[in-house]
Chains A and B, each alone.
Chain A
Amino acid sequence: MTIDMTRRGFIGGVTAFSLLGADAASKSRGPIKAVYEKGSRASDFLACRRLYLDICGRIPTPQEVEAYVASKKSSKYENLIDTLLDSEDYADYWSMRGCDMLRVKSEFPINLWPNAVYVYHRRIRDAIKADEPWPDFARALLCSRGSNFRVPESNFFRAAASRSPEGLSEAATMTFIMDPTPKYAKYFSRVAIKFTKEWKEEIVYLKDGPRDLVPEAFMDELEGPLRSQFVAAPVKRVHYWIYDSMPRPAALTDMTGAFTRGGCRLKPLLRHVFRSSAYRAGPVRGKFPPRRLDAEVLEDAICSITGATRDFTSIAPEPFSFLPPERKSVLVEDGSITSAFMLLFGRPARDTGALEERKNDITAKQRLYLYNSSKLWDDLGRITTDKAFRAKSHAAQVEELYMKFLSRSPVKDELAIIDPDGKAEIRNIAWHLLNSFEFLYRI
Chain B
Amino acid sequence: MSTAKNTTASRQVAKSVIEIWQWGGPCQLETFDPKPSAPHDYNNGLKSIKTNAGFEIHEWLPQLAKCADLYSVIRSMTHKFFGHEKATYLMQTGHVPGIEPITYPALGAIISSMKMKDYDGEIAPFVILTQAKGRFSEVGFLGDFYAPLVTGGNPNAKIFEVDGIVPPGGLTTEQINMRFEKALLFDHLRLPKHAAFDAAGEQARRIICGKAAETFDLSRESKETRERYGRTFFGQQLLAARRLVEYGVPYISINYNGWDSHKRHFETMKRPTAEMDQAVSALLLDLKERKLLDTTLVWMSGEFGRVPKVDRQPPWNGGRNHFPICYSALVAGGGFKGGQVVGESDETSDHVKERPVTPVEFLGSICELAGIDPEGRLPNPKGIELNVMPLPRGRDAGHGRLEEIYV
- A-side residues, CB < 8 A to B, are 16, 19-20, 24-25, 28-29, 32-33, 36, 107-109, 111, 160-162, 167, 283-284, 287, 289-290, 292, 314-318, 336, 338, 340, 343-344, 346, 349, 351, 359, 361-369, 371-375, 377-378, 413-414, 417-418, 428, 431-432, 435-438, 440-441, 443
B192 at the interface (CB under 8 A from A): yes
Kindly state the separation between the CA atoms of A339 and B283 in the bound complex, as whole angstroms.
31
Which residues of A sit under 8 angstroms from B379, Cβ to Cβ? Answer: none
Q: Does B168 contact A373, Cβ atoms closer than 8 Å?
A: yes
Kindly state the separation between the CA atoms of A359 and B200 in the bound complex, as whole angstroms.
15
Chain B stretch 185-228: residues in CB contact (< 8 A) with chain A = 185-194, 196-197, 199-201, 203-205, 207-208
Q: Does B185 contact A25, Cβ atoms closer than 8 Å?
A: yes
Chain B stretch 90-134: residues in CB contact (< 8 A) with chain A = 97-98, 100-103, 124, 132, 134
Given contacts A364-B200, A373-B168, contact A290 B191 (CB under 8 A): yes
Question: Of the 9-residue stretches B66-74, B149-157, B234-242, which lies at the interface with chain A?
Answer: B149-157
Kindly state the separation between the CA atoms of A138 and B288 in the bound complex, as whole angstroms.
63
Q: Does A28 contact B168, Cβ atoms closer than 8 Å?
A: no
Question: Across the two chains, which residue of chain B brings its CB closest to A349?
Answer: B103
Given contacts A432-B182, A432-B183, A437-B187, contact A290 B192 (CB under 8 A): yes
Q: Does B85 contact A418, Cβ atoms closer than 8 Å?
A: no
Q: Does A431 contact B179, Cβ atoms closer than 8 Å?
A: yes
Question: Across the two chains, which residue of chain A brings its CB closest to B190?
Answer: A29
Which residues of B sit under 8 angstroms from A436, Cβ to Cβ? Answer: 183, 186-187
| Most interface-central of B89, B135, B169 (chain A CB within 10 A) | B135
Q: Does B186 contact A428, Cβ atoms closer than 8 Å?
A: no
Q: Does B189 contact A107, Cβ atoms closer than 8 Å?
A: no
Of A343, A368, A443, the residue contacting B165 (CB under 8 A) is: A368
Contact with A along B127-169 (1 / 0, CB 8 A): 0000010110100010010010110110000000101111111
Question: Across the two chains, which residue of chain B brings its CB closest to A361?
Answer: B196
Kindly state the separation between the CA atoms of A364 and B145 in the bound complex, as whole angstroms.
11
B146 to chain A, nearest CB (A): 12
Q: Does A367 contact B183, Cβ atoms closer than 8 Å?
A: no
Of A108, A377, A435, the residue contacting B97 (CB under 8 A) is: A108
Chain B stretch 56-92: residues in CB contact (< 8 A) with chain A = 83-85, 89
Kindly state the separation between the CA atoms of A315 and B163 in the bound complex, as whole angstroms.
25
Which residues of B sit under 8 angstroms from A377, Cβ to Cβ? Answer: 168-169
Q: Does B189 contact A437, Cβ atoms closer than 8 Å?
A: yes
Of A19, A351, A362, A366, the residue contacting B141 (CB under 8 A) is: A351
Q: Does A418 contact B144, Cβ atoms closer than 8 Å?
A: no
Which residues of B sit under 8 angstroms from A336, Cβ to Cβ? Answer: 135
Question: Across the two chains, which residue of chain B brings its CB closest to A411?
Answer: B188
B289 at the interface (CB under 8 A from A): no
Given contacts A316-B135, A317-B85, A375-B163, contact A363 B182 (CB under 8 A): no
Kindly state the separation between the CA atoms of A296 and B310 in the bound complex, as whole angstroms.
45
Q: Does A32 contact B164, Cβ atoms closer than 8 Å?
A: no
Q: Does A365 contact B149, Cβ atoms closer than 8 Å?
A: yes
Of B100, B101, B132, B187, the residue contacting A340 (CB under 8 A) is: B132
Kindly state the separation between the CA atoms of A313 and B167 in the bound complex, as whole angstroms.
28
Question: Across the two chains, which residue of chain A brings its CB closest to B180?
Answer: A371
Contact sample, A vs B, 7 pairs, CB 8 Å cutoff: A32-B188, A316-B83, A336-B135, A340-B132, A368-B208, A369-B164, A437-B189
Q: How many residues of B contact A (CB 8 A)?
A: 54
Kindly state the separation between the CA atoms of A437 and B141 in the bound complex, as whole angstroms.
30
B181 at the interface (CB under 8 A from A): yes
Given contacts A20-B182, A432-B182, contact A284 B189 (CB under 8 A): yes
Question: Across the two chains, which residue of chain B brings its CB closest to A344?
Answer: B147
Of B103, B124, B200, the residue contacting A362 (CB under 8 A) is: B200
Given contacts A367-B201, A367-B204, A373-B163, contact A437 B191 (CB under 8 A): yes
Q: Does A372 contact B144, Cβ atoms closer than 8 Å?
A: no
Q: Does A108 contact B135, Cβ atoms closer than 8 Å?
A: yes
B154 to chain A, nearest CB (A): 10
Question: Across the two chains, which residue of chain A brings its CB closest to B178?
Answer: A16
Kindly state the separation between the CA atoms of A389 and B85 in the bound complex, as whole angstroms.
45
Which residues of A sit under 8 angstroms from B135, Cβ to Cβ? Answer: 107-108, 316, 336, 338
B181 to chain A, nearest CB (A): 6
Which residues of B sit under 8 angstroms from A338, Cβ to Cβ? Answer: 134-135
Kindly state the separation between the CA atoms of A254 and B199 in the bound complex, as whole angstroms.
37
Q: Does B144 contact A374, Cβ atoms closer than 8 Å?
A: no
Q: Does A109 contact B194, Cβ atoms closer than 8 Å?
A: no
Kindly state the separation between the CA atoms of A344 and B135 in the bound complex, as whole angstroms.
13
Which residues of A sit under 8 angstroms from B191, Cβ to Cβ? Answer: 283-284, 290, 437, 441, 443
Of B132, B165, B200, the residue contacting A372 (CB under 8 A) is: B165
Kindly state the separation between the CA atoms of A343 and B134 in the bound complex, as whole angstroms.
10
Given contacts A28-B188, A108-B135, A374-B168, contact A343 B147 (CB under 8 A): yes
Of B102, B153, B197, B208, the residue contacting A161 (CB under 8 A) is: B102
A193 to chain B, nearest CB (A): 13
Which residues of A sit under 8 angstroms from B166, Cβ to Cβ? Answer: 372
A341 to chain B, nearest CB (A): 10
Which residues of A sit under 8 angstroms from B199, Cβ to Cβ? Answer: 364
Q: Does B182 contact A417, Cβ atoms closer than 8 Å?
A: yes
Which residues of A sit under 8 angstroms from B102, Cβ to Cβ? Answer: 109, 161, 351
Q: Does A371 contact B204, Cβ atoms closer than 8 Å?
A: yes
Question: Across the two chains, which residue of chain A brings its CB closest to B145?
Answer: A363
Given contacts A284-B191, A316-B135, contact A375 B204 (CB under 8 A): no
Given contacts A283-B189, A290-B191, A374-B153, contact A365 B164 (CB under 8 A): yes
The 10 closest A-B pairs by CB, nearest first: A161-B101, A368-B164, A364-B203, A374-B168, A316-B85, A377-B168, A368-B204, A367-B204, A162-B101, A374-B161
| Most interface-central of A162, A318, A367 (chain B CB within 10 A) | A367
Which residues of A sit under 8 angstroms from B196, Cβ to Cβ? Answer: 361-362
Q: Does B189 contact A432, Cβ atoms closer than 8 Å?
A: no
Q: Does A20 contact B181, Cβ atoms closer than 8 Å?
A: yes
B205 to chain A, nearest CB (A): 7
Kindly state the separation between the CA atoms of A33 and B190 in the bound complex, as whole angstroms.
10
A362 to chain B, nearest CB (A): 5
Which residues of B sit under 8 angstroms from A107, Cβ to Cβ? Answer: 85, 135
Given contacts A368-B164, A375-B152, A417-B186, contact A359 B144 (CB under 8 A): yes
Q: Does A16 contact B144, Cβ atoms closer than 8 Å?
A: no
Kindly state the separation between the CA atoms of A33 and B163 in the bound complex, as whole angstroms.
34
Q: Does A372 contact B163, Cβ atoms closer than 8 Å?
A: yes
Question: Across the two chains, which residue of chain A brings its CB closest to B100?
Answer: A109
Q: Does A437 contact B197, Cβ atoms closer than 8 Å?
A: yes
Which residues of B sit under 8 angstroms from A373, Cβ to Cβ? Answer: 152, 163-164, 168
Of A20, A316, A344, the residue contacting B84 (CB under 8 A) is: A316
Question: Across the two chains, which residue of chain A brings its CB closest to B196?
Answer: A362
Q: Does A346 contact B144, Cβ atoms closer than 8 Å?
A: yes
Question: Across the two chains, which residue of chain B brings its CB closest to A336?
Answer: B135
| Most interface-central of B164, B192, B200 (chain A CB within 10 A) | B164
